[in-house]
Amino acid sequence: MAAKSSYGEQSSSSGHWGHAYLEAAKLESLKSGRLTPLIKLELKCRIQTRRLSEGKDELDVEFTPPQKTMLTVEEKCKRLKRLQQNKEAARKCREKKKQNAKIQEEKFEQLQKKNGSLRDQLKCLEEEKIKVMQLLGIIYPTMSSQESPTPEACPESFQQRALSSPTPSHFTPIPHSCLQQL
């Protein structure tokens, strides 16, 4: 019985692998630049030798690629249904992603507006604070609001002036603890 190899030649019925197999493996190895064909041939030879020493028949080594079978009508329907569902899910995912991006953009714009209005409010409050301090006589009356130093710049002098300055008759005195907060 002759076994057909993947190199297209047959071995003798005595179980010896001929030089033709070795040559074919050598050429394929040189062509591909890999040792895989030679290693495969060696393994086949060892397996065949062991089988023959155990008294078993020689293996018929043939590889036939699996044939593609046609899908049945039911399988085609399932495949089409799955493809349609996948398409719909992808569309919904893209739509949801766009909605989330739009929502995030709107939130960003709202927060920017709120931040701007808070900055404006802070600026107004700082200006009002300076005016109140000028009314209390803490800041030199001759200085304009742009030239006047802020309490943060020299806190001791402002607190000393606030405590030592005469209180006008139409103002009620401010406690020392409140001046520290200003």
pLDDT number for residue 161 = 53
pLDDT number for residue 24 = 86
Q: List all residues 6 or more positions away from 79 whose beta carbon is below 8 Å from its beta carbon.
A: 71
pLDDT number for residue 176 = 53
Alpha-carbon span 108 to 53, nearest angstrom: 81
User: Averaged in consecutive runs of 10 residues, what is the pLDDT profile of the chain (182 residues)?
Assistant: 42 53 86 89 87 84 79 93 97 97 97 97 94 79 51 52 51 52 52
Alpha-carbon span 70 to 76, nearest angstrom: 9
pLDDT, tens digit (0-9, with 9 covering 90-100), for 165-177:
554 444 555 555 5
Q: Which residues pair with 10 in a beta bridge?
A: 4
pLDDT, tens digit (0-9, with 9 covering 90-100), for 27-55:
888 999 998 888 988 888 888 889 889 98
pLDDT number for residue 97 = 97
Q: Tell if the pTM clears 0.85, that is, is over it.
A: no
pLDDT number for residue 2 = 41
For residue 64, which phi and psi values (nearest 5 degrees)?
-120, 125
DSSP tag of 174? P
- Helices and strands: H and E segment counts in the chain: 5, 0
